């Protein structure tokens, strides 16, 4: 019970700081809940979620701007430029929920499309020898009697 009394005795400045801290950390809780609630989190969600988190935290303002700047820097240190990751770009592009929506400029859209095309061409090229080898190993047609 003594802990409850201590919380009630916070100064107005401390309450304001606690509110600012909760507001600053709220996007991280939302992202955690979103990714935890999905039965099978997919690679295609990561680009949109991390970019959205970074944007939301960096564009909000209030009493804890210093903390927000540190959090944005730490997210960037952890994930880097997520738009440079080929797998994230392609997974996001081919997901019908997202397609090109997260790619907010022409350069990002073109990189996503060209990377997806190259990956698909690579898959097809890898399949070609398998198909040709299967054709060569097929048994010859039986000879017909004359």
Q: At 99, is the secondary structure helix, strand, or coil?
A: coil
| CA atoms within 13 Å, Cβ hemisphere of 62 | 18
- Averages of pLDDT over runs of 10 residues in the chain (146 residues) are 65 90 92 83 87 92 87 94 93 91 93 94 84 59 64
Residues 6 or more apart from 43 whose CB is under 8 A from it?
87, 88, 91, 92
Res 61: pLDDT: 83
Q: Position of tokens 């979620």?
A: 49
- Round to whole Å and give the CA distance between 11 and 13: 5
Half-sphere exposure of 53 (CA within 13 A, CB side): 25
- Residue 103 has a pLDDT of 94
**Pair 71, 53: CB distance under 8 Å:** no
Q: What is the pTM of this model?
A: 0.71
């Amino acid at each position: 019970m003594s802990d409850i009394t201590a919380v009630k005795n916070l100064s107005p400045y401390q309450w304001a700081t606690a509110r600012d801290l909760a507001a600053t950390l709220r996007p991280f809780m939302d992202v955690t809940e979103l990714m935890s609630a999905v039965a099978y989190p997919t690679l295609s969600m990561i680009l949109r979620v991390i970019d959205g988190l970074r944007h939301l935290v960096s564009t909000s303002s209030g009493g804890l701007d210093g903390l927000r700047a540190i959090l944005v820097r730490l997210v960037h240190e952890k994930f880097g430029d997520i738009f440079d990751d080929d797998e994230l770009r392609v997974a996001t592009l081919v997901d019908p929920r997202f397609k090109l929506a997260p790619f907010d400029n022409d350069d990002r859209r073109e990189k996503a499309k060209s990377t997806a095309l190259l990956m698909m061409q690579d898959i097809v090229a890898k399949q070609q020898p398998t198909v040709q080898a299967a054709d060569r190993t097929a048994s010859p047609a039986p000879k017909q009697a004359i």
